[in-house]
Every structure is written in structure tokens, then in C-alpha cells.
Chain A
Amino acid sequence: MGGRIARCFSEAKSENRAVLGMFVSAGDPEAGLSEQILDVLVSNGADFIELGMPFSDPMADGPAIQASSLRAIKAGMTLEKTLDIATRFRKNHPDTPLILMGYFNPIYIYGTDRFLDAAANAGVDGLIIVDLPPEEDDELCTPARQAGLDFIRLVTPTTLGDRLEVVLNNAGGFVYYVAIAGITGTKSAETDSIKQAMTRINGATDLPCVTGFGIRTAEQAHQAAQVSDGVVVGSALVQLIEDAAETNPLNHDRLLSDMGSFCAGLAAAMKR
């Protein structure tokens, strides 16, 4: 329980580097390709996977991830199939942490208990549910903790004041610092502001802390890696799928190789 996440961060620490988390939407651009995409990311240095559960109205996401969600839904992705992808991922990669990320409604409709059972059985380590702040912990956070899943909290530039304590209460796995006030894949934060936030967060919790939102290049990733325990890249990776999906027919091998080399470049940038 939570073992994989803790091991992942302590291993990276002993190698004097930050961990790299990669985000993709399950079933984007098609369900059959997700398993291979995740394999390519792990073999090119992704330390953990954040697997998006597609939702029609992702209100905290920018254009790239919105489009990714809609492509996946259009291609027939469901929560059930997302959990199947998670199950296969766990068989292929017994040690790599897997986080499911998304919005509450599809889980609520699937049934909260049924979802938590299935996610735990699939070998999922943690959940990031964007529209469940601490005020709504009874909905999913509390039962998720009871089911042995970490509920990963988002800390944002607007939560760094008195609210930090509220947000860190019940937090598990790691803390996800949203480096910008904004949606995914838009503007980018200055390293200094990330550094100040990390000092504040590290003073309030023993959990490791990763930085995400607006990190698009190996250079930005390298800078964020110097001041945080990990870095998450999503929109820039998903953009590769969008570009590939525009060519017809979709060239699978080329997409996988582009994603692999992009990921490898980011992994190399995790060194301190």
C-alpha cells in the first residue's frame, strides 16, 4: 500500500535525480494503442504514469488535454476499459506507480465503491480527482484511503496560505504542486516561484512533492527537477498524439517512437 510510490521517490533520491511522471489519457488515440504507449514511456524513463480517465467536460484542463479526452471518448473509451488498461499495465510493470487522474462524475456514475474495488484490484496506487477538494472528502477521499489507495492532493498558488494545512490533511502518496494558477498546458512558472512553493510545502509535510502544469520542454523540466522531487509532463506529450492523429492513416510506429524519444529527453533532464 503506497509502497511503490515511496520506493520510486527514494530510489530517485539515491540516484540524485527527480522522478518523471508522464500523463496520457486512456484510450487516446485508440484503446488498442494505450498499452504500447505506456510501455514505451516506461522503457524510456518514465518513473510513474498518470493515466487520464476521459471526461467530456474537463474544466481544469487546457485545449490539448480537452481534445485528448474527447478523442478517447469518441474512440469508445470507458471507465471499465480504463481499468482494464490499468490491469494490463500492472502485469507488465510490477514496480512502476500508476495514478489515475480525472473528474468525479464518471466515477460517481460507475459507483464509488465498485470503482475503488476495481482500481485496487487493478494495482492502481493513487488517485488525482481534480474536482474533489477537501470539503468533499466524504465522497471519495475517505473511502479511497480505506481501500488502500493514496488520494493525491493538488496544491496551487492560491492554496499556499492558510489553506495549505487543510489541503495536506488526508493527503497521500505525494503532493502535486500546480505551478501556475491556470489550466493544464498553458503558461509556465518561473523556477524561483516553484522553489519558494517547495520550501513552503516541504515545511508542512514529509510527502515528496512534484511540479506540474505548464512544463513542456526538457529545459523547463530540468529547471523544475532542480527544486522539486518530481516533474509531471502531460499536455506536451498529448500534443504529439494530436499531431499524429491528424495524419491519416495514423502511423503507430512513428507516434510510439516520437513519444519515446520525447520521454527519454525529459528523463535525461531529471538529473541534478
Chain B
Amino acid sequence: MVEQSRNSFKHLPDENGRFGIHGGRFVAETLMPLILDVEKHYHAARTDKQFQDELAYLHKHYVGRPSALYFAERLTEYFGGAKLYLKRDELNHTGAHKINNVLGQALLAKKMGKTKIIAETGAGQHGVATATACALFNMECEVFMGAEDVRRQKPNVDRMRLLGAKVHAVTSGTSTLKDAMNEALRYWVANPETHFYIIGTVAGPHPYPEMVRDFQSVIGHEAKEQLMEAEGRLPDALIACIGGGSNAMGLFYPFLDDKTVDIYGVEAAGHGIDTGMHAASLTGGTPGVLHGNRTYLLQTDEGQIKDAHSISAGLDYPGIGPEHAWLHDSGRVNYVSATDEEALKMFQLCSRLEGIIPALEPSHALAFASKMLPEMSSDKIVILNMCGRGDKDLEAVLPKLEERGLLSLDKGEA
């Protein structure tokens, strides 16, 4: 399953959960026996055909996989360069890639005999996916969400409640995703025997970064096969947005050893990297230890964690998955960034040109595509992960588009 070659970018983590200096298991002792148990069960499940078959069945019949790989002809024409394919993970049940991972972990929790689930959520997509899986598996669900995010992502809070989850509005610290994760970990420390913690991204203590990556890799495996069918070859480049980095890791991982494929991860630059008001941990952060792993963090010179800033609640996190940190150090993946403003423009543009309302998160990926594609020749091919749909963002985005006069562009010039 894991390629052991020293030249491979796919041989990590090591047995201590390390990706180079990143990753690890930096958790309170109360949690150690639990994560060792999760690791043991996960490693067994990886090679358990019955587990993999059950998950594949759910991915196909419940989520609607494989998601389409769609040639975005009008965006391609607009950008005027390389051909753009969108991996349509926004078409999944619940509207984002998050469900791929959640079903895997919920299935694992079920095998481990756990009936109660904890999750943290930022934009609410992971919370909704977890609440959905819990309804399906008849499990209790407690979702921790920063009070600030509860306010700006109300439709998702309502969905979680309807699905039967209990949503805890977290007011400690700065009331955002990092505090929701702190609270979820605290809750797990207090309820270690009964609860399973479904982490929503490729971060946290080992084995979570590896496990979430594996569950999300279905995105990249499908995309590779689908493009082979459509074009008979590998893509020239991949683009995905990055908060914690699970959709990106899922798309990138199967391509890491394909040396001809250039890979780009797009972080949220918020108001701009030089303003300090951003969420770009790789571009603007330094290595540190938080939430169970070492990785790049937004932090002060004293090692205190700073607030992240992004218009997208899903990217608004001061850290990043440790495998991305290592792929950054090793130079295999290029990490770039896009601002709030650039993402907003793409939100509108993609809606108008393709009839696809993207979430704010992949709008960041589109913003980078809009710069890179025109520089490439028309025989080049790029796959972009359309990891979520934008319905949840309308309340936040529409007033901003109106302010900028972008909603009045309805004369059909685009």
C-alpha cells in the first residue's frame, strides 16, 4: 500500500507519525492510549477488504462517487491558456469533499464499538458531514464550532441541528476554528472511553493526518483515471485550496510521484500577506507545535498562536496539515496564496461562466488558476479541485459583491 522507495514522496509518515520534522503525537497523556488505539484499528482497516468494500459502497451509493471530472470550457476560454478541468467534489452528498473522510472515520468508530462522535468545524461543512454520518449510523453527535463561525455559517448550523447533532458554540479564546479544536480535544479528554473524535482535516496527532489523507485520496485516484480516459494522459498541473489541507492532500497524494505534474496549494491571503491579516501558515508562518502535531503555524515570536484571517471560514485556521509542511520543505508542492478580494471575484465569475457556484474555499484555487492558466499554452491541462459548493456562503458574499458593484454586471458581457 505504501511505496517504500526512498525517491518516493509517498512513504511517510514514519512509525512515529513524522513527515520530516513535522507531525508527531503532541497530546496530553489522557489521549495517548486513545490515539494508539485509533492507529491500531486504522492500520488493520486499511488492509481489511470488508472495511474497504463497505466504504467503497457508501462512497458510490450514498455520496454519489465518482464525482465528475468536468472540462470547464468557458473558464478555459476566459483565462485563455491551459485547459481547465474541475474535479466536482461539490456534487457530493452534503456539498463538499468532507463526507469522503467522515464516512471512513465513522465506519472505523463503528468497528471500534464507539457510538458517540465528536467533531470540530469551521465553515460547518465537516460538521454537516459528521452530523450526516451520525444520522446514518445512529450515533450521537457533538459538534464544536467557534461562536463567530456559528454566526457567519448559520445555514450549516441549522442543517446540523436538523440532522440531530448538538452544536456547541465555542466562546473560549478567539471563538474560531482553532478554539473549536481546543474545545473538542478538551471534551475528548473528559470522555475518552465512550467517544470517537472525527477530525475533519489532515492535521492533529498521528494517525489522523495519514488517515484523513488516505480517505480523501479517492479524489486524486478518480481524477487520474478520469483524465486518462478523457485525454489519455496525466495533467500538467494540479491546483487546490488549503486551510488544514484535506481536499488538497486528497487530490495531490496519488500524483506525488508523477514528476511531470506540477502541484500548487493555494492558501488564504486574507487582506494580503503583508498586512499580517491572513491564514497562510506556509507563506507567513514558522514551525511550531499545536493540536497534536508540529507544522507551520501563525504565531508570535513568543510561540503564542495568532488569529488567522480569511473571508472563508473553512480556511481560517492558523496551522496546516503536517504533510503539507513537509511537501513545502521538500519542494515537491508549490504553495501560493490568494486574497479575499481575488476569491470574491472568482466566486462571481465561476457562477456566471460555468453555472457552478463555488464555495469561497475553492474560489481561492480559481484565483490562482486565473493567474497561472493564461501563462500556459493551450495544449497543457490543469485539474482544479472544486471541493465545495457556495450555497453556505451566499449570506457572507452577496453584500460584498453588491458593495463592489459586481452583482450589477448582469449585462451578459462576461
Contacts and interface: CB of A to CB of B under 8 A. Distances in A.
Interface in A92-145: 103-110, 130-136
A133 B25 contact: yes
Interface stretch (A33-41, A57-65, A204-212, A257-265): A57-65
B330 interface: no
Contact of A73 (B16, B191, B304): B304
A181 to B, nearest CB: 5
Contacts of B301: 109
B289 A131 contact: yes
A191 interface: no
A239 interface: no
Interface string B168-190: 00001100001100100110011
Contacts of B45: none
12 contacts: A57-B178, A57-B305, A60-B28, A105-B299, A109-B301, A134-B32, A135-B16, A154-B28, A167-B29, A178-B29, A182-B190, A183-B189
Given A109-B302, A158-B32, A163-B33, 6 more contacts: A57-B178, A60-B30, A60-B189, A103-B289, A133-B27, A136-B24
Interface string B13-50: 00010000000111111111110000000000000000
Interface string B181-214: 0100110011111000000000000000000000
Given A60-B189, A183-B186, A186-B190, A131 B27 contact: yes
A55 interface: yes
B29 A108 contact: no
A39 to B, nearest CB: 26
A66 interface: yes
A162 B19 CA distance: 28
A181 B189 contact: yes
Contacts of B291: 57, 59
A78 B25 contact: no
Given A104-B26, A159-B29, A59 B288 contact: no
Contacts of B24: 135-136
B117 interface: no
B186 A133 contact: no
B367 to A, nearest CB: 30
B303 interface: yes
A156 B28 CA distance: 10
Contact of B290 (A105, A133, A155): A105
Given A159-B29, A167-B29, A105 B186 contact: no
Interface in A62-92: 62-63, 66, 70, 73, 78-79
A56 B16 contact: no
A206 to B, nearest CB: 20
Given A59-B185, A105-B289, A183-B186, A153 B29 contact: yes
B410 to A, nearest CB: 46
Contacts of A108: 288-289, 294, 303
Interface residues of B, number: 38
Given A136-B26, A154-B28, A181-B30, A60 B186 contact: yes
Nearest to A77: B302
A161 B297 CA distance: 35
Contacts of A136: 24-26
Given A59-B185, A105-B288, A105-B299, A156 B29 contact: yes
B192 A104 contact: no
B173 A105 contact: no
Contacts of A56: 173, 304-305
Interface string B292-328: 1010010101111100000000000000000000000
Contacts of A106: 302-304
Interface string A168-203: 000000000010111100110000000000000000
Contacts of A73: 304
A181 B190 contact: yes
Contacts of B31: 158
Contacts of A78: 302
Nearest to A66: B172
A108 B106 CA distance: 35
B33 A159 contact: yes
A55 B304 contact: yes
Contacts of A60: 28, 30, 186, 189
Nearest to A73: B304
A153 B29 CA distance: 9
B33 A59 contact: no
B192 A158 contact: yes
Nearest to A176: B29
A108, A109, A161, A182 pick with most chain B CB within 10 angstroms: A109
Contact of B25 (A130, A135, A153, A155): A135
Contacts of B32: 133-135, 158-159, 163
A187 B299 CA distance: 32
Interface string A13-33: 000000000000000000000
Interface string B60-80: 000000000000000000000
B28 A131 contact: yes
Nearest to A130: B28
A78 B304 CA distance: 9
Given A59-B182, A159-B29, A109 B299 contact: yes
A48 B291 CA distance: 30
A146 B291 CA distance: 28
B303 A57 contact: no
A181 B303 contact: no
